[in-house]
């Protein structure tokens, strides 16, 4: 597993789904963690994260950076 900042992981693996475990935060509220899985399959990423549960500490699934231009429609945000 490679430990990296969340933003750095998104840029390193564009258009991929990334599962990060052992999430921690620095004093500036930036998050970092260990890259557990990188896949192009969204369902596989979320299934893997769900199976991990809390066994690997806090975890998150993020989408890699996508520079495809948006033409109309809605933009989906998560909280």
Distance (Å, rounded) from C-alpha 58 to C-alpha 55? Answer: 8
- Per residue of the chain (79 residues), give pLDDT as tens: 788 888 888 889 899 999 998 888 887 778 889 999 999 999 999 899 888 877 777 888 898 888 766 666 565 554 4
Quote the CA–CA distance of 38 and 20 in Å, as a whole number.
9
As a whole number of angstroms, the distance between CA 24 and CA 40 comes to: 25
- Per-residue confidence (pLDDT) for residue 43, from 0 to 100: 92
How far apart (Å, rounded) are the C-alpha atoms in residues 70 and 40?
20
Identify the helix (H) or strand (E) that includes residue 10: helix 6-12
């Amino acid at each position: 597993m490679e430990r990296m900042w969340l933003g750095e992981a998104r840029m390193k693996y564009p258009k991929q789904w990334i599962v990060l475990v052992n999430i921690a935060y620095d004093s500036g509220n930036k998050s970092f963690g260990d890259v557990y899985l990188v896949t192009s399959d969204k369902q596989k990423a979320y299934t893997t994260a769900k199976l991990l549960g809390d066994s690997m500490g806090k975890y998150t699934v993020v989408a890699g950076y996508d520079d495809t231009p948006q033409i109309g429609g809605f933009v989906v945000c998560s909280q």
